[in-house]
Amino acid sequence: MKQTSHPIPLRFVNHGVRAKLVGIQSSQRISRRLSELGFVPGIELSVVADSGSALMIALGDTRMALEYPLAHALLVTVVEQGAC
Amino acid sequence: MTTMAGFAPQIPFSYPAPVEREIAQLAALFAQTPALAVYPARWLAIQVLEGDEALLAEIEAHGGSAVVAALNDSLERLRAVYGDELDIVMVDQRYRFVHEVATRAVTRPATPPATLSDRIDRIVTHRWFGIPIFLAVMWVVFKLTTDVAAPFVDWLDSVVSGPLSRGVSALLGMVGAGGGWFESLLIDGVIAGVGGVLAFVPVLLSLYFALALLEDSGYMARAAFVMDRVMRLFGLHGKSFLPMIVGFGCSVPAIYATRTLDSRRDRILTGLLVPFMSCSARLPVYVLIAMIFFPAYAGQVIFGLYLTGIVVAVGVGALARRTLFGRQPPTPFVLELPPYRLPTLRHIWRQMWERTAAFVRKAGTVILATSVVVWLLLAIPARGDGQFAATPVDQSAFATLAHAVAPVFAPLGFGNWESSGALVTGLIAKEVVVGTLTQVYVGEDAVAEPAAPPSLGEDVVAIVTGFGAAIGDALRALPGIIGINLSAVEAEPVADELATAIQAGLAASSNGHATAAALALLVFVLLYTPCVATLAASRHEFGLRWMLTSLLGQFAIAWLAALIVFQGGCMIGM
C-alpha cells in the first residue's frame, strides 16, 4: 500500500494500478464532456489496456476508451499498486 | 412507470446552495422571456450555467439585454465561489446523487474483482496482439462469406436459371402468352436480372451473420479501440471505425452512422472514405469474376480487394486532411466499451433477416426497375433490321449506348461494350453489374434450351437434392476457414455459358490479357463512384458540394487504380 501525494497524469499510470482522479487539466468544453462521462474528481479508476494510441480505463463498471492526450489531461493520485 | 412516482420524492436532488440560488433567479427570468419559452426554464438555466455554447449564443441573440446582463452577473458571482470548475461541480453533484441512490440500493465488494470481460480484453485489446487478432477475425468473416456461402449461391443460381425460368415459361404458354416479347421481358429481364442478384442472398446472410455476431458480442467496440491507432493514419480516430465497418455492409447506413461523430470535419472526412470500404453489394461482382478467373484463389483475391479499399482510403484520407481540411484538428477520442456478452441466436437471426430483407426489397424495386430498363434498351433495335424484343444484342440500343462509353475503359483492359454497359448500370446499385452481365451475355443464347426440358417432378427432385448437396459442400468448407481443406478434389471452375462469355469478352477487349483485365475490373468495381442511394445519403448529410467531390473523386481514383493494375498486370505477363 503506497500513497502518493503528488498528482500525475493518468497516461503514466501502469496497468492494474488503482488511482483516484483529482482534476482535469483541459479546455472547459473537454472537461465538461469528460465529467459528463463519469470522470468526476474523487472517482477511482484503473488502466485495463493500452492500444498504442489510447487507454482503456475501468471506471466503476464502465470501460472507457480514452486517447492519449485526454489521458494526459486527467490528473490522478495512485491509491494502490496493482499486481501487474 | 406509475410506481416510479412513489419513489421519486424520497431522495430529493439539488445543486449546492449558491448554484440553486442562481438557477432559481435565471429560471424565473427565462420563464418571462417569450423567445426562450420553447425550453423548460430550469433546464435552460442549468445548461447555460454549465456553459452550453449553443444555448448561450441563442440567449445572446434572442434573450434581450436585461436577460444577458442577469446571466453574466450570475456567472460572475458563481465564478467567485467555484472558479473555472462550475460545470464540473454541477456534474459532480449529479454523480453524487446517482452514487448515493446506487449505494442504498446495491451491495457490492469494496474492490471490484477483475471481470471476465477485463481478462478477455487483456488479450483481445493487447497492444501487439490486438491488430493481428482483428485481422484474423476479418479473415474468418471473409472465408465465411465466400467458401461457406458459395455452394448455396450455386444452388440458388441453378434453380433460378433452370426450373424457375422453365416454370414461368410453361405457365405463360398455358395462358397463351408464351413466345412473345412479354415472355422475353419476364424471363430475360425480370427473372434473369433480379434472380441473378437474389442468388447472392446466401452471401449476404453470412456477412450479416458475422457482423451481427461481432456487434452483439461487444467485439465491434474493441475493434474500434484497437484500430484507433490505425485510424490515425486516415486522420481520423477509433470512433470513425464504426461507420467504416458498417460500410462493409452498406455505404448508406454507414454515411448516416457518421452522425455519431463529434465534429463536421470528422463526419465529412469519414463520409468521403466510407465508400472505399467494400460494401456487400460489391461482393456478388467479386464472387462472380473471381470464381471465373481465379477459381483456386477466390477467397484470397476478394480479401485482397477489401484490403485494397482500406489502403486507398488511408491514402485519400491523408491527402484530404492536408488539402481539403487544412489545419482543423480532430476531436478527441472517447468511447464507451460495453461488456462482452454471449449473443443470442434470436437477435442475430433478426438482424440477418432485417438487413437481408432490406436488400431483397431493394432488389425488388431499384434492381427490378433497372433490369426492365436494361431489357428495354436491349429490346429496342438501334441498328440492323431486328424487331422489338427480337434484335441481336450487339445491334440493340443498349449496345449503342455502351459502345459510346466503352472507350473510357479501353486503357483499363475492359473497353468492351458489355463490361462498360454493366458498369454504367452499376451506378444504380453495384450488384446490378452481375444482373446486367447475365442479361447481355446469357440473354444472347436464351434460345438454346434443351430439346426435352425436364418434367416438373424431375425439377423438384433436382432442387431438393441440390440443396442437400449445397449443405454438404458448405459443411465441408467450414474447416477450410482455419486452413484445413477437406475438399481438395473439387477445383472445378464455373464452367457455364456466362463464365465462358465473360472470359471471351475480356480476352478480346484486353488483347489476350484477360486475367489482368479481370483484376483491373475488380479494382474498378471496388473503387468507383458509389450507387445512387449512397450519393443521395451523402448529399443529404454533407451537401451537394461534398457529394460531387465524392462522385468525381472516386471515379478518377478508380480509373487511375484500374489503369495501374491492368498495365502492371500486362507487364508481369498476366
Inter-chain touch B126–A49, beta carbons under 8 Å = yes
Contact between A54 and B228 using a beta-carbon 8 Å cutoff: yes
| Contact present, B510 and B413 (Cβ < 8 Å) | yes
Q: What is the pLDDT of residue B12?
A: 76
pLDDT at B201: 79
SS3 per-residue string spanning B395-429: HEHHHHHHHHHHHHHHHHCCCCHHHHHHHHHCCCC
**ipTM, 2 dp:** 0.88
Taking residues B356-378, report their average pLDDT.
75
* Domain membership of residue A61 as a residue range: 8-79
| Range of weakest confidence among A36-40, B117-121, B153-157 | B153-157
Q: Which domain covers residue B82, as residue numbers?
A: 16-105
Q: Which own/partner pairs from B167-176 qualify as long-range (CB within 8 Å, at least 24 positions apart)?
A: B167/B456, B167/B459
Question: HSE-up of B397 (CA within 13 Å, CB side)?
Answer: 12
Residue A36 to residue B91, Cβ atoms within 8 A: yes
Residue position matching grid coordinates 479508476: A45
- B326 in any annotated domain: no
**CB distance from A28 to chain B under 8 Å?**
yes
B407 interface with A at CB cutoff 8 Å: no
Q: How many residues does this entry show for chain B?
A: 574
Q: Is position A84 within any domain?
A: no
Examine the pLDDT at B200 and tell me if it is beyond 70.
no
Q: Taking residues B238-258, what's their average pLDDT?
A: 79
Q: Which residues pair with A80 in a beta bridge?
A: A18
Neighbours of B169 (CB within 10 A): 18
Q: Do B67 and B33 contact (CB within 8 A), yes or no?
A: yes
State residue B11's pLDDT score.
Answer: 66
pLDDT of residue B482: 56
Report chain B residues whose CB lies below 8 A from the CB of A58.
Answer: 112, 118
pLDDT of residue B481: 59
Neighboring chain B residues of A63 at a CB cutoff of 8 Å:
117-118, 121, 336-339
Under the banding of pLDDT at 50, 70 and 90, the label for residue B559 is very high
pLDDT-wise least confident of B13-22, B283-292, B360-369, B549-558: B360-369
Give the residue from chain A lying closest to B117, CA to CA: A63
Q: Is residue B413, in this structure, part of any structural domain at all?
A: no
Write the pLDDT tens digit of every residue in B85-106. 888 888 888 888 888 888 888 8
Q: Is A50 part of any domain?
A: yes
Nearest CB to A28 within list B87, B126, B229: B87
| Average pLDDT of span B38-52 | 89
Answer whether A40's CB lies under 8 Å from B95's CB.
yes
Which position has the grid cell 477509433?
B238
In a domain, A1, yes or no: no
Which residue in B87, B130, B334 is closest to A66 by CB distance?
B334
Residue B5 has what pLDDT? Answer: 47
More confident site: B264 or B559: B559
Q: Is A24 helix (H, G, I), strand (E, B) or coil?
A: strand
Of B92, B117, B127, the CB nearest to A50: B127
Q: Is residue A29 part of a domain?
A: yes
Q: How far apart are CA B421 and CA B566, in angstroms?
A: 19
Tell me what pLDDT residue A1 has.
Answer: 46
Determine contact: B225 vs chain A, CB below 8 A: yes
- Measured between CA atoms, how close is B6 to chain A, in angstroms? 28
Q: Which of B229, B335, B340 to mutate to test the interface with A (most CBs of A within 10 A)?
A: B335
Query: Which residues make Cβ contacts (< 8 Å) with residue B272, sequence separation at least 6?
Result: B316, B320, B546, B549, B550, B553
Give the domain CATH number at A31.
2.30.30.90
Residue A33 lies in a domain: yes
Per-residue pLDDT of B288-328, as tens digits, reads 899 889 988 888 899 899 999 989 998 898 888 778 776 66
pLDDT, position B493: 44
Is the residue at A26 inside a domain? yes
A 59-78 residues with CB below 8 A of B? 60-67, 69-70
pLDDT tens per residue, range B407-437: 999 999 998 888 988 898 888 778 778 878 8
Could you report the per-residue pLDDT of B427-484, keeping only the tens digit for each? Answer: 877 877 887 888 778 764 444 444 455 677 777 787 888 888 888 887 777 766 555 5
Which residues in chain A are contacts of B122 at CB distance < 8 A? 48-49
Find chain A residues with C-beta within 8 A of B229's C-beta: 51-54
Q: Does B334 touch chain A if contact means CB atoms closer than 8 Å?
A: yes
- Please state, rounded to an integer, the average pLDDT across all residues of chain B: 82
Three-state secondary-structure class, residue B354: helix
Does the pLDDT value for residue B367 go beyond 90?
no
* Domain-embedded: residue B422: no
pLDDT score of B89: 86
Residue with cell 482535469: A24
Which value, to the nearest 10 degrees, does the dihedral of the CA atoms of residues B497, B500, B503, B507 take?
-120
H/E element, A56? strand A54-59
Q: Is the pLDDT of residue B63 over 80?
A: yes
Q: Does B6 score more than 60 pLDDT?
A: no
pLDDT at B7 over 80: no
Question: How many separate domains does chain A show?
Answer: 1
Give the Cα separation of B511 and B413 in Å (integer).
8
**Residue A40 touches chain B, beta carbons under 8 Å:** yes
Lowest mean per-residue pLDDT among B391-400, B414-423, B513-522: B391-400
Are B334 and A65 in contact (CB < 8 Å)? yes
Is the residue at A23 inside a domain? Answer: yes
Q: Cα separation of B247 and B256, whole Å? A: 10
Number of compact structural domains in chain B: 1
| Any domain includes B321 | no
Give the three cell numbers for residue B337: 466499451
Sole residue written with cell 482534476: A23
d(CA A45, CA B500): 64
Q: What is the pLDDT of residue A73?
A: 92
Is the per-residue pLDDT at B489 higher than 60?
no
Q: Do A65 and B224 touch (CB under 8 A)?
A: yes
**For position B48, which CATH number holds?**
1.10.287.1770
Q: How is residue B149 written as a grid cell?
A: 456461402
Nearest to B148 by CA among B198, B97, B90, B206: B206
Q: Is residue B54 part of a domain?
A: yes
- Whether residue B332 and residue A29 make contact (CB cut-off 8 A), yes or no, is no
d(CA B78, CA B76): 6
Residue A45 inside a domain? The answer is yes
Closest CA–CA distance from residue A25 to any residue of chain B (Å): 11
Q: Is B33 helix (H, G, I), strand (E, B) or coil?
A: coil
